Amino acid sequence: MDLVRGIAILGIFAMNIISFALPTASYTDPRSPGAEQFAGPFTGSNKTVWFLQALIVDQKMMSAFAMLFGCGLMVMHLRGQRSGEGRTITWYRRCFVLLCFGLIHAYALWCGDVLALYAACGMLLWPLRKLRARRLLVIAMPLLLLGMVITTGMGSHMHRQLELAEQGQTMLDAGEVPSDEQAAAIDKADQLRSAFDPGTSETWHDVTLRRSGAAAYLGINATESWYLQTTGLPKFSAPKTLALMLIGMALVRLGVLQNHRTKREYFVIAAGGLCSGMALVATGMWLQLGHEFRFDWLHLLDGNFNYLGSVFMAVGLIGACALWPDLGGGPLCWLRSSLIACGRMAFTNYIVQTIIGVTIFSGLGFGLMGSLERHQLVPIVLAVWAAQLLLCRWWLGHFAQGPLEAVWRQLTYGKPAKSSSASPQNGP
C-alpha cells in the first residue's frame, strides 16, 4: 500500500505542476495559441513531455490515490474492530479533520485541492464498510459509469451548440436570418470558447493576475475553489471518486492490498490492468490529436478513454507493485524503500508539493507562472522527487510518522503514534 501511495504522490506532482506553472489551456489544449505563448510550441520536447504526462500520469496517479484512500478507511475500520476503536465517531472525525485541512489548502494555497473531496466522499462510505467485495464493486460500477455519462452529456450539449452556431454563422455570412435557436447558439458558443479555449490576450491577462501579487492570486484562487467545491467536483469528480474508493475497499476485502494473493494473480492484475488501460488511454490521445483538442469532443468522446483507462492502469500499478520484490540491497532496493517512505508521508508530501508550486509560480511567491515551457518543468519535478525521496527516508528514520500525518492522527484519535526508530530500509 505504501509503495503504491509513494509512486502515486510523486506522479501527482508531475501533473499538478502544469496547473501551478502554466495556464489552464496548456492542460486542455496544448496546441492553442493561448497555451503555446507560455508552454512553448507543441513540438519536439514539449510534445514528448505532454505525451508522457497524458499516457502515464494524467488521472492514473490520482485514481490510484483515491483507491488507496478508500483502502485506508477500510484498514482503519478493520484494525479498529480488533482494538475496540472501530467506532462511527472515529471514521467521521478522521474525515472531518481531513475536510478542514482540505479547505485550508484550497483557499489559502491552491484551488486544485482533492483532500476536501476525499473527506466528503469518505463520509458517505461508512454505511458500506461491512459489505463484501462483490457488493462494493457492484455499487462502484454504476457510479463509475455515472461520471462518464455526465461528462458525455455535457459534451453532447456543447457539440450541438457549436453545430447550431456554425449553421447560424453560415446564414449570417450569406445575408440570411438565422433561427432563434441558431442565434442563441452563436452567443452560447462564444461563451464556451471563452471558457474552454481563451485567446492569447485573455490568457495573458489571467497569467498576469495570478503572478502579480498575493491579493490578486488569492482572490482568483478563492473564486475557483468555491466553484469547484460547489459545482465542478460534486457534479463531475464525486461519482468517480466514490467509485474508486469503493474499489479500494473491495481490494482490501479481497486481500489484494495486503499481499494475500499469489504471484500469478498479481501478474494477471498488473499485465491486464496496465496493457488494457494504456491501450484505452492511447486511443483517447489519438482521438484528441485527430480532433485538434476540441473541447466538445474531449467531453463527448475523447476524454472517456482516459477516464476508464486510468482506472485500469491504477489497478495494474497495484499489481505491479506487489511483484516488486524486496531485494535486500542495491539501487532498486533503495528506491523501493524510499518510495515506501514517501507513501507513508503522502499527506505531508502532497501539501509540501503545493507549497513549492505556489511559491515558485504564483503571486504568493516568485510569480514565475508562464515563464517556463513545458519541457523546462521536468528538472523541477525531478528535483522535488529527489528531495522528497531523501527527506522522507531521513524523517522516518527519526520519527514514526510525517508531521501532518501525526497531527491528523492526534486530532482523529486524541493520541499520537507510538515513537519508532525504524529506518525505511528496514521496512515500513
Q: Each residue of 138-166: pLDDT tens digit? A: 999 999 999 999 999 999 999 999 999 99
Q: Is the pLDDT of residue 358 over 60?
A: yes
Which amino acid does the sequence have at 69? F
pLDDT at position 418 is 61
Q: How far is the CA of 351 from the CAs of 12, 72, 223, 268, in angstroms?
A: 12, 19, 20, 34
Higher-confidence position of 87 and 103: 103
In this prediction, residue 423 carries a pLDDT of 41
Q: Using a cut of 0.85, tell me whether the model's pTM lies above it.
A: yes
Residue 195 pLDDT:
80
Residue with cell 510550441: 41
Q: What is the pLDDT of residue 25?
A: 83
For the chain, report the end-to-end CA distance as a whole number of angstroms: 10
For residue range 68-78, what is the model confidence (pLDDT) as tens digits? 999 988 888 88
**Confidence (pLDDT) at 301:** 94
Mean of pLDDT values over 11-31? 91
The pLDDT value recorded for residue 349 is: 97
In this model, does residue 387 exceed pLDDT 50?
Answer: yes
Asked if 109 and 218 touch (Cβ cutoff 8 Å), the reply is no
Q: What is the mean pLDDT of the segment spanning 350-355?
A: 97
User: How far apart are the C-alpha atoms of 206 and 19, rounded to whole Å?
Assistant: 13
Q: Is the pLDDT of residue 374 over 50?
A: yes
Q: What's the pLDDT tens digit per position in 297-322?
A: 999 999 999 999 999 999 999 999 99
Domain boundaries, the chain: 2-426
Contact 137, 247 (CB under 8 A): yes
pLDDT in tens, 36-79: 899 999 999 999 999 999 999 999 999 999 999 999 888 888 88
The per-residue pLDDT of the chain, averaged, comes to: 90
pLDDT for residue 233: 83
- Dist CA 328 CA 336 (whole Å): 10
Q: Which of 42-46, 168-172, 244-248, 378-382 has the lowest mean pLDDT?
A: 168-172
pLDDT in tens, 389-427: 999 999 999 999 999 999 999 998 877 666 544 444 433
> Could you tell me which residue, 421 or 24, shows the higher pLDDT?
24
Spatial neighbors of 102 by CB under 8 A, at least 6 apart, are 113, 114, 115, 116, 117, 118, 119
87: which 3 cell numbers?
Answer: 467506532
Q: What percent of the chain has pLDDT over 90?
A: 68
Task: Please report where in the chains the cell 464493486 appears, as a residue.
Answer: 137
Residue-wise pLDDT for 179-219, tens only, equals: 889 889 888 888 888 888 777 888 888 899 898 889 999 99
Which range has the top average pLDDT, 12-21, 173-182, 191-200?
12-21
pLDDT score of 230 more than 80? yes
Q: What sign for the dihedral angle of Cα 263, 81, 140, 105?
A: negative
- Residue 114 — very low, low, confident or very high, per pLDDT cuts 50/70/90? very high
